[in-house]
């Protein structure tokens, strides 16, 4: 059930031009260079039906965006980039959008997420920032896994938002590998390192 605050926002599918505008604009502020893939890679995936985006709008104004890589079977997505624009932060919009996207993708199995590995933070400030981000996801129904992945100079822990089903880590890993093979068709084995860490 949508709340009154929830109802003031609309989700819209983003076309390639809109994705490019966001990716070359606000996303540059929101994500460090080593986390931003070449735009040509996004174009390639979009044109192959393996990339899509949603925008959360208040009227005509974009307030948040989510860009996804789609697994070949179409049942799982990787939340590639997710951010609330600066002027709209601290208002619960991130939670609203996360809940709305799970309803939007009600026919899918799950949305996978990568968060920067807390244990590899450069200092206490960065560690606290990463921990707060993870806590946000956990408060909104996202599940933590023991799966960690490294590629393009960045290290992540994998989480997932169950939609149609709860997944065990083997199935999360399988979905993740499918998605990374879409992202890195020629360099998957060379660039992507996945491991499941013990408790």
Is-contact 32 136, C-beta < 8 A?
no
- Taking only the tens place, the pLDDT of each residue in 77-113 is 999 999 999 999 999 999 999 999 999 999 999 999 9
**Class of residue 14 by CB neighbours under 10 A (exposed 0-12, middle 13-18, buried 19+):** buried
Write b or e for each residue in 50-71: b if 16 or more Cβ atoms lie within 10 A of its Cβ, otherwise e: bbbbbbbbeeeebbbbbbbbbb
Q: Is the pLDDT of residue 130 over 50?
A: yes
Contact, 197 vs 154, CB < 8 A? Answer: no
Model confidence band, residue 186 (pLDDT cutoffs 50, 70, 90): very high
Q: What's the rounded Cα separation, in Å, for the pair 127 and 28?
A: 22
Residue 122 pLDDT greater than 50, yes or no:
yes
C-alpha to C-alpha distance for 178 and 63, rounded to whole angstroms: 31
Residue 7 has a pLDDT of 74
Domains annotated on the chain, with CATH: 4-196 (3.40.630.30)
Q: What span, in angstroms and rounded, lies between the C-alpha atoms of 37 and 144?
A: 25
pLDDT the model gives residue 5: 55
Select from 102, 83, 186, 180 the least CA-distant residue to 141: 102
Model confidence at 1: pLDDT above 60: no
Query: pTM of the prediction?
Result: 0.91
> Mean pLDDT over residues 116-136, rounded?
90
pLDDT surpassing 70 at residue 149: yes
pLDDT tens digits for 70-83?
999 999 999 999 99
């Amino acid at each position: 059930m949508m709340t009154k605050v929830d109802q003031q926002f609309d989700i819209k599918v983003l076309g390639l031009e809109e994705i490019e505008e966001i990716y070359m604009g606000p996303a540059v502020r929101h994500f460090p260079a080593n986390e931003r893939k070449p735009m040509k890679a996004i174009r390639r995936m979009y044109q192959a039906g393996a990339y899509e985006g949603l925008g959360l709008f208040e009227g005509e104004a974009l307030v948040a965006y989510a860009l996804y890589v789609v697994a070949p079977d179409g049942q799982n997505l990787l939340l590639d980039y997710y951010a609330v624009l600066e002027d709209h932060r601290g208002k619960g919009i991130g939670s609203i959008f996360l809940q709305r996207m799970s309803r939007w993708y009600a026919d899918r199995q799950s949305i996978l997420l990568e968060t920067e590995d807390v244990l590899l933070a450069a200092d206490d400030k960065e560690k606290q920032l990463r921990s707060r981000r993870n806590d946000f996801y956990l408060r909104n129904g996202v599940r933590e896994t023991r799966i960690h992945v490294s590629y393009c100079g960045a290290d992540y822990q994998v989480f997932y938002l169950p939609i149609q089903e709860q997944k065990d880590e083997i199935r999360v890993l399988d979905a993740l590998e499918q998605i990374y093979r879409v992202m890195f068709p020629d360099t998957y084995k060379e660039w992507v390192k996945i491991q499941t860490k013990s408790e």
